Amino acid sequence: MGPGQTVTVFGAYGHTGRFVVAELLDRGFVPVLSGRDEVKLKALAAAYPGLEVRPASVGDPDALDRALAGAAAVVNCAGPFATTAAPVIEAALRAGVPYVDVAAEIEANADTFAHFADRARAAGAVIVPAMAFFGGLGDLLATAAMGDWTEADEAHVAYALSGWQPTEGTRAAGAVSRERRGGARVVYRNGRLDYRRDEATTLQWPFPEPLGSRPVIGEFTMADVVTIPSHLPIPDVRTYMTAGAARDVSAPGTPTPAAVDEHGRSAQTFLVDVVVRSGGAERRAVASGQDIYAVTAPLAVEAVHRILTGQTRTTGVVSAGEIFDAADFLRALSSHLAVELRR
């Protein structure tokens, strides 16, 4: 099985959902357009004649079942995932199809692991949360960097974005996460999530040349603190964000992304620098590319392809680095990402 199969995209008309629909078509899949807003779905379908529209809301299980009927898999692109993940996962379990989402919300991803791990494992189902720029990519890079190491003392994921024009979905998801934390910030220390009230510090991160040392917000925590320790025995996972990008995403007046090429990508560039340390040894993986939202689409669609063609290592609720061959997965994205492993 593989290309030619139908894949339901929930939240298809959203910013990231549109990239996922286009990538599925490029890879030979047939997307089914789903989401709660029928008007927006039909507007998107006008750009892709022949694609089926199946409106559904997370509060209507019957509609979700109709949206997934006959599909080989579902990709959930509709945030906030604190609201959408569980109902769409339930629908995927009823339909007996794999579920992939692009959630960057730490709490939503933690909920998916906590609430569905036993049921998914017992059913032999595949549920892959955070199969996106935040969460999935860092996990793949950390896993590839680990190589033959079976454990490490710490993992660091440093993000250098040329700027960050957030989508409406990013802002909505961030607001939900802040509300769930009561305004606290989250860190991953000593093998568990911890909530802090103090201010995150600014420090210098030595990005590879030609970028070089840049100021970053320390403990700018992203979904990697859920995905990486879900399968790698690393008790200390820290993530960082370049200070300018952190200011952009928090500023209320920052505009949404603007397309600059025929693929709809923005001019934003990124570099992700992952360092894992064990004892006195250090290993590193670096990835760079264009547009964090656009690159989420090949990550999610490659995951769907590998699941449907049996290129997986396990079942249950699993992160990218656990279910896939991380180094091979990253090589498959060479037209979207430049990746270098430094061991």
CB 109 within 8 A of CB 80: no
pLDDT at 342: 86
Per domain, the residue ranges of the chain are 6-132+296-327, 136-291+338-342
Over 50: is that where the pLDDT of 71 sits? yes
| The three-state (H, E, C) secondary structure of 87-113, written as one string | HHHHHHHHHCCCEEECCCCHHHHHHHH
Share of the chain above pLDDT 70, in %: 99
Higher-confidence position of 342 and 294: 294
pLDDT in tens, 286-334: 999 999 999 999 999 999 999 999 999 999 999 999 999 999 999 999 9
State the Cα torsion 309-150-100-62 to the nearest 10°: 100
Write down the residue that tokens 């860092």 correspond to: 138
pLDDT at 131: 98
pLDDT at 167: 96
- Kindly state the average pLDDT of the residues 197-202: 93
- pLDDT band for 2, please (50, 70, 90 cuts): low
- CATH for 136-291+338-342, among 3.30.360.10, 3.20.20.60, 1.20.1330.10, 1.10.760.10? 3.30.360.10
Preceding peptide of 31 cis, ω within 30°: no
Q: What CATH number does the domain located at 6-132+296-327 have?
A: 3.40.50.720
- Kindly state the average pLDDT of the residues 61-80: 98
Q: Please count the helices (runs of H) and the strands (runs of E) in the chain.
A: 12, 16
CA distances from 192 to 140, 226, 310 (A): 20, 9, 32
The pTM (predicted TM-score) of the whole model is: 0.97
- Kindly state the average pLDDT of the residues 113-134: 97
Tell me the average pLDDT of the chain: 96
pLDDT in tens, 265-299: 999 999 999 999 999 999 999 999 999 999 999 99
pLDDT at 1: 45
- Kindly state the average pLDDT of the residues 124-144: 98
Write down the residue that tokens 């040894």 correspond to: 281
Question: Encoding tokens for residue 283?
Answer: 């290993």
pLDDT at 343: 77
CB 67 within 8 A of CB 32: yes
Closest CA to 241 of 208, 283, 196, 272: 272
pLDDT in tens, 142-170: 999 999 999 999 999 999 999 999 999 99
pLDDT at 4: 87
